[in-house]
Amino acid sequence: MEQNATSPSNQGHPSNLRRVAIDPISRVEGHGRITLLLDDENHIHEARFHIVEFRGFEKFIQGRPYWEVPFLVQRLCGICPVSHQLAAAKAVDQLVGVERLTPTAEKLRRLLHFGQTLQSHALHFFHLSSPDLLFGFGSNPAQRNIVGVLDKYPELALKGVKLRKYGQQVIAAIAGKRIHGTATVPGGMNKILSIAERDALLVDIKDILAWSQDALALNEQIHTANPEHRDFATIRSNFLSMVGSGGELEIYHGGLRARSASGATIFDQFDYRGYQQIIREEVRPWSYMKFPFLIELGKEQGWYRVGPLARVNNCNFISTPLAEAARKRFREFGQGGFVHDTLAYHWARMIEALHCAEAIYMLLHDDEITGTDLVADLGEKRREGIGVIEAPRGTLFHHYQIDEEGLITKANLIVSTTGNNQAMNESVRSVANEYLDGHEITEGLLNHLEVAVRAYDPCLSCATHALGKMPLQVELLDADGALLDRLTKGSNGMIERTL
Amino acid sequence: MSKIRIATTSLAGCFGCHMSFLDMDERLVALLEHVELNRSPLTDIKHCGPCDIGLVEGGLCNTDNVHVLREFRDNCKILIAVGACAINGGVPAMRNHFTLRECLEEAFLNGVGVENPQIPNDVELPLLLDKVRPLHELVHVDYYLPGCPPSADEFLSVLGDLLEGREPALPKKLLHYD
Ligand code: SF4
């Protein structure tokens, strides 16, 4: 924790507000910061969640051949690389004129994505968030981590480690390695799943199903047994997600559905290739992550939430029985309406983890999964491709244009976490006003703000695919142009010699 | 035997190297019997204290990265550059082919569906470096762990060597392209 009474934030605040920063936010993936401005009585004047990193992907991808993109772009995010690879691959399929994959290729892609979602959800709960939920939001920070959970609840923590491991093994069987493997080719997949590989995955699937049920039961119990969890960081919002053609939960391919906080349909089964007609992204000066909104509702009202809470609320049903039974209990908890509780993200996430385990079980028992027909016939080349997928953290958009040689000329990504940008800010404000306002700020109270952000499972690593602000740099050159000295003004306002 | 203290951080990386560290799976549980985690995305320690080993993923793309790397170098007896991004900039360094301004303009001014176009500019945002740079351009690096990401076996091999006081050397079978 850094408290800095003379920070530059005070400038322009005649009332001399004090700045408190949580920097970095820990137990999330990527780089984020929360800042508070407080007066002498500790009343909150401003609470913000900033993304402080910028990458510039939309620019530096330009000029690269389209077939390279899935493997480049997955390096935005080492937690959900498969989701990026698949969203890009779906766009690439359009570039090469493929409407429909072979049955085996489509099933392999689905299996790959279920493995990805299972491992990501397990990682988020067990490795990152469970310490808050098991030990308490204001508990001892030295214990509040996966090592503490391994100490206190070894059996539970080990199940979490193995759930994540299994998801990674599914990925490795299809993509060659656990992180940044290669699986897709334009119009299909590059490798079969051998019978031996399939059989190896079958060995543990029963345990995985059982442990996913345990993880769900634990999260369901934590949420329903703690009334204070209902209101913590809770906001009412619109929800956006993909659904299947029957309105079922769908994470690989379907139409877009948006519903308002009260459940009214804003649009449904919308073809995502037209996303520019429904979504725009606002830039605000204090974050590198943009703020998307539904055009129909406008900048003020049009923000929404994505991810497990949105998907489980938005779908009509889940196609696998255990997860569907869990969804019904979730729905009952919401008394037939949407569950807006921010902490219910954890519960919804574990419903999805169970769905992934069930879906993996079914795909491994499907004979077509070991088929050998992997690539569809390529059609007429096109200049534009738009791939959308439900990544673990929410709806992920990849959009590319190419020139006649197949080199990228334009790229746009709306990464999942961006979808929750406004919501995370709203939740941070809600917790700041409810729990911190007027109190002496302690480490435990500050962790409450991080608990609110963590519920969304933000991946700030891929949220920062854009680039940031200009460094102020002065260079002294001699008559021949050789660099003699260089001064740089840092983010803290200090001028440093950086030669 | 007292535990070895390790700090880890991700700078301009994708977290894949950290994920690969976790890919030790059950072996991580065994490792943690000999290791104490200091600052890391997995703990709530926000600043690096005195450590035996610092593992750094990702190169340098902004002034925050610079401060964190200096903090690691000042506090860690052994500093290891983990993965392609830390060693040579990796994918984020592809932006070095363009100017920073071009990258910013594409994202915030000329992008698809951008509302309220402007380049973010706020005291809370760290300044971006003109180029993405590898770690060794700023500080002395003791060891380089190659890969994108290095595999869990590589982490175990290097940490095992260091825990037992050996000079780390990757066995040949761990040195390969993807
Ligand atoms: S080396 Fe590879 S895995 Fe590691 S941070 Fe860079 S892109 Fe990610």
Could you read off the pLDDT of A355-395 as tens digits, one per residue?
999 999 999 999 999 999 999 999 999 999 999 999 999 99
Q: What is the DSSP letter of A459?
A: B
Nearest CA distance, A284 vs chain B (angstrom):
6
CB contact under 8 A, B107 and A141: no
Q: Please determine, for residue A461, whether its predicted confidence score (pLDDT) is greater than 90.
A: no
* Prediction pTM value: 0.91
- Percent of chain A surpassing pLDDT 70: 89
Q: Please determine, for residue A14, whether its predicted confidence score (pLDDT) is greater than 80.
A: no
Note the pLDDT of residue A175: 97
- In the reported structure, the alpha carbon of residue B12 is separated from the centroid of ligand 1 by a whole-number distance in angstroms of 9
Nearest to A159 by CA among A222, A211, A209: A211
Q: Please determine, for residue A59, whether its predicted confidence score (pLDDT) is greater than 70.
A: yes
- Among the ranges given (A203-207, A407-411, B124-128), the one the predictor scored with the smallest mean pLDDT: B124-128
B57 C-beta closer than 6 A to ligand 1: yes
Residues of B in contact with A472 (CB under 8 A): 127
Note the pLDDT of residue A192: 98
Q: Are A380 and A72 in contact (CB under 8 A)?
A: no
Nearest to A387 by CA among A359, A415, A408: A415
Check CB contact of A138 with chain B, cutoff 8 Å.
no
Note the pLDDT of residue A15: 55
Query: Average pLDDT for residues A99-116, to the nearest whole number?
Result: 98
Averaged pLDDT of chain A: 90
CA B109/CA B97 separation, integer angstroms: 19
Which residue is it, tokens 């302690």? Answer: A442
Question: Residue A467 — pLDDT band, cuts 50, 70, 90?
Answer: very low
* Contact residues, A window 377-406, toward B, CB-based 8 Å cutoff: 399
Phi/psi for B40 (5° steps) reads -170, 155
Q: Are A8 and B122 in contact (CB under 8 A)?
A: no
Query: Average pLDDT for residues A418-426, to the nearest whole number?
Result: 94
**pLDDT, tens only, B20-71:** 999 999 999 999 989 999 999 999 999 999 999 999 999 999 999 999 999 9
Note the pLDDT of residue A484: 53
Q: Which residue of A has its CA nearest to B26?
A: A161
Sign, Cα dihedral of B149, B155, B161, B165: positive
Nearest CA distance, A435 vs chain B (angstrom):
20
Residues of A in contact with B16 (CB under 8 A): 75, 77-79, 81, 179-180
Taking only Cα atoms into account, the Rg of chain A, rounded to an integer number of angstroms, comes to 23
Query: Average pLDDT for residues B80-95, to the nearest whole number?
Result: 97
Query: Average pLDDT for residues A326-349, to the nearest whole number?
Result: 96
What strands lie across the sheet with A238-243, from one edge to the other?
A265-270, A255-259, A238-243, A304-305
Q: Please determine, for residue A176, whether its predicted confidence score (pLDDT) is greater than 70.
A: yes
Nearest CA distance, B123 vs chain A (angstrom):
7
Q: Which residue of B has its CA nearest to A78?
A: B16
Check CB contact of A489 with chain B, cutoff 8 Å.
yes
**Domain coordinates of chain B in residue numbers?**
4-95+129-163
CB contact under 8 A, B127 and A26: no
Q: Is the preceding omega at residue B126 within 30 degrees of 0, hence cis?
A: no
CA A224/CA A333 separation, integer angstroms: 8
- In the reported structure, the alpha carbon of residue A75 is separated from the centroid of ligand 1 by a whole-number distance in angstroms of 6
CB contact under 8 A, B120 and A150: no
Residues of B in contact with A22 (CB under 8 A): 46
Note the pLDDT of residue A486: 55
B148 C-beta closer than 6 A to ligand 1: yes
**pLDDT, tens only, B119-172:** 998 888 888 999 999 999 999 999 999 999 999 999 999 999 999 999 999 999
Note the pLDDT of residue A16: 75
Number of DSSP helices (H) and strands (E) in chain B, helices first: 6, 8
Pairing of strands A188-189, A184-185: antiparallel
- In the reported structure, the alpha carbon of residue B13 is separated from the centroid of ligand 1 by a whole-number distance in angstroms of 5
Strand partners, A414: A397
- In the reported structure, the alpha carbon of residue B8 is separated from the centroid of ligand 1 by a whole-number distance in angstroms of 14
Question: Residue A53 — pLDDT band, cuts 50, 70, 90?
Answer: confident
Q: Are A198 and A364 in contact (CB under 8 A)?
A: yes
- In the reported structure, the alpha carbon of residue B144 is separated from the centroid of ligand 1 by a whole-number distance in angstroms of 13
Strand partners, A394: A391
Retrieve residue B83's tokens: 């993965």
Phi/psi for A497 (5° steps) reads -85, 120
**pLDDT, tens only, A291-301:** 999 999 999 99
Question: Residue A1 — pLDDT band, cuts 50, 70, 90?
Answer: very low
B17 C-beta closer than 6 A to ligand 1: yes
Q: Please determine, for residue A304, whether its predicted confidence score (pLDDT) is greater than 50.
A: yes
Question: Which CATH code of 3.40.50.300, 1.10.620.20, 3.40.50.700, 3.40.190.10 fits the domain covering B4-95+129-163?
Answer: 3.40.50.700
